[in-house]
Amino acid sequence: MLAAPLGVALSATLVWSSSQSAFSGTTVNPGNALTAGSVSLTDDDTGTAMFSVTGLKPGSTGSRCIQVTYAGSLASTVKVYVAPGGLTGTGLGTYLHLTVEEGTPGTYSSCSTFAATATDYTGTLSGFAASATSFATGVGAWAPTGAGQVKTYRVTYTLQDNNAAQSLSATVAVTWEAQNS
């Protein structure tokens, strides 16, 4: 009777001591850290509308610059568009000729030093709002590669000589959007 418990104890001792005598080795790769890049745009309009004009007549024209600064860390492409629902009013957009240009330097307070480097859009305001409705269909060629890069856009309107434009109105929200490449 003693043989069975003694055999179990001896077997357990052999298994325990053989599992304690194995070789071992490890390596560690410490300090792994991952950080996402960023995409960010700001402008110099201080939250005010580019245009607030009343009493337009045939041939009335105006232009305004807005300076857009890229503050992201990832290379990106910037597009300009009018999001769906961004053009409201009673139809004046059909009679407003619109030109959107990219260039330098120019600021929101003055376009006097602006020099165009590209024309992103020319046509009616309604046409722009219908064709450039998202980043995918937006216009523009600016491709900043890092923070601190600046592009100035000049937006110019001219009211067509069309009697049907009388008493009509338009309000538009123009969007600049950057997406990383």
Cβ distance 80 to 153 under 8 Å? yes
pLDDT at 11 over 90: no
- What pLDDT, on a 0 to 100 scale, did the predictor assign at position 78? 98
CA triplet 37, 42, 47: central angle to 5 degrees? 150
List, in order, residues 6 or more apart from 170 with CB less than 8 Å away. Answer: 87, 88, 89, 90, 91, 92, 93, 96, 125
**Amino acid letter at 135?**
F
Q: Taking all residues of the chain, what is their mean pLDDT, rounded to a whole number?
A: 92
pLDDT at 151 over 80: yes
Mean pLDDT, residues 144-157 = 97
Confidence band for 181, pLDDT divided at 50, 70 and 90: confident
Cβ distance 72 to 147 under 8 Å? yes
How far is Cα 134 from Cα 93, in angstroms, rounded to an integer? 18
Mean pLDDT, residues 120-125 = 98
pLDDT at 91 over 90: yes
- Prediction pTM value: 0.84
User: b vs e for 114-150, b when ≥16 Cβ sit within 10 Å of the residue's Cβ?
Assistant: beeeeebbeebbbbbbeebbebeebbbebebeeeebb
